Structure 1
């Protein structure tokens, strides 16, 4: 494992080489001493993973191969990130979240607890690209929400607690709790009976 910056790595960390932790952000590139990463206990980092500086990760985190996690990201406990996913930083991911392979999470995104995000889902943060940083606003995903495979969620959209997004949907407006977004552009339906009560 290659380390940059000052890192705090918890007990029982498993690393499958090659892995890089504490990689400097652009603003840290020319500094010799800067905050690295903080990783909790019993985490698993698989080969090809790169974690930038100023990232905090909870206990029992694990990732697939070739995962990129950018700077200033907070990730909770018992959360997993699938192979070839990109987490762009400056946001947060809660506890017991399942992010499948090839998912893109942009900067300024907030993901709650117990969320499921299917493979190749794309979250976005720039409605009229390219704009400057002050204009960027990622989605907000509530606790227990489900995002299907290949779904696209536009900037600033809020997915309510326990709400769902169907596979392949393009979500342009908020999805309230108890609703499901389906289609292109997505329209709202009642949540299927099979998906109700996940919180229990």
Structure 2
């Protein structure tokens, strides 16, 4: 643990290392203001593992159960492994921690919040003030830009680009190599019913199939599928499925052609 090039503050970090709740690999750099919270709100303690050459910047908070791969950078004020607490998405969460994984070579920029049970692949880029809620999965090489919100259970494939300010509603599926412009909005509830167990219906999140592209400011209604390779114009309101390889735009969006091979 204590190679000559490893920088750790005295006190809490070394106490955690000594009792086996924090593993720090060689050449890590941990700012003295970083905080490691190994116990969740129910009192369950989970260990934290830092791979080689991890950088943890000022005022970062890392929760128990987090596994950080080698060559990862956590920017100032980032939070990783935050336990979910309170009512959300038809469930009541008790503040229970879970395994959280940050893949090798990934960058989590300043102010980002990553909840417990999130898994990031290798070489993922998470932008400033991004929010990833419980159960999100992000494939290798994907980029989620600043101020994006990714709700619970969303699945994002490899090589995806999500531009700033977009919102992916709970349980959205985003296939490999999808491009989403800035300010894209998604909906998963056709009835707009909240906290009414008598009338609530299953959520119907949208699906973005492999290689499709969605322009900035587009809105996709519940249950919509954007087919593989399709192109949705900026500012469109998508009310019906978009067939693979087609070009649609407008309010409501209509088909106007085919994507050139």
Deviations 1:97-149 (A, max 9, x none): 00000000000110000000000010111112124675211101000000000
Which residue of structure 1 aligns with residue 246 of structure 2?
179
The equivalent position to 2:73 in structure 1, one of 7, 10, 14, is: 14
Which residue of structure 1 aligns with residue 229 of structure 2?
162
Which residue of structure 2 aligns with residue 87 of structure 1?
150
**Which runs of structure 2 are paired with 1:18-57 in the superposition (5 Å)?**
18-26=77-85, 29-31=94-96, 34-57=97-120
> What is the DSSP-based 3-state SS (H/G/I as helix, E as strand, rest coil) of the residue aligned with 1:8?
strand
User: Which has the higher relative contact order, 1 or 2, with Cα contacts under 8 A spaced 6 or more apart?
Assistant: 1
List 4+ stretches of structure 1 deviating above 4 A. 131-134
Task: Please tell me whether residue 147 in structure 1 is matched to residue 210 in structure 2.
Answer: no
C-alpha distance in 2, partners of 1:36/1:17? Answer: 22
C-alpha distance in 2, partners of 1:38/1:21? Answer: 9
The answer to whether the Cα contact below 8 Å between 1:4 and 1:36 also exists between their aligned partners in 2 is no
The equivalent position to 1:138 in structure 2, one of 205, 223, 229, is: 205
Which residue of structure 2 aligns with residue 115 of structure 1?
178
C-alpha distance in 2, partners of 1:167/1:70? Answer: 26
Deviations 1:154-179 (A, max 9, x none): 11100100011100000000001111
Which residue of structure 2 aligns with residue 2 of structure 1?
61
TM-score, normalised relative to structure 2: 0.71
> What is the DSSP-based 3-state SS (H/G/I as helix, E as strand, rest coil) of the residue aligned with 2:228?
coil
The answer to whether the Cα contact below 8 Å between 1:140 and 1:158 also exists between their aligned partners in 2 is yes
C-alpha distance in 1, partners of 2:211/2:68? Answer: 29
The answer to whether the Cα contact below 8 Å between 1:25 and 1:53 also exists between their aligned partners in 2 is yes
The answer to whether the Cα contact below 8 Å between 2:212 and 2:228 also exists between their aligned partners in 1 is yes
> What is the DSSP-based 3-state SS (H/G/I as helix, E as strand, rest coil) of the residue aligned with 2:119?
strand
The equivalent position to 2:163 in structure 1, one of 96, 100, 103, is: 100
TM-score, normalised relative to structure 1: 0.91
- How many residue pairs get matched? 192
Tell me: CA distance 1:17–1:138, structure 2 relative to 1, closer, same or farther (3 Å): same
Unmatched 5+ stretches in structure 2: 1-59, 86-91
Unmatched 5+ stretches in structure 1: none
The structure whose Rg is larger is 2
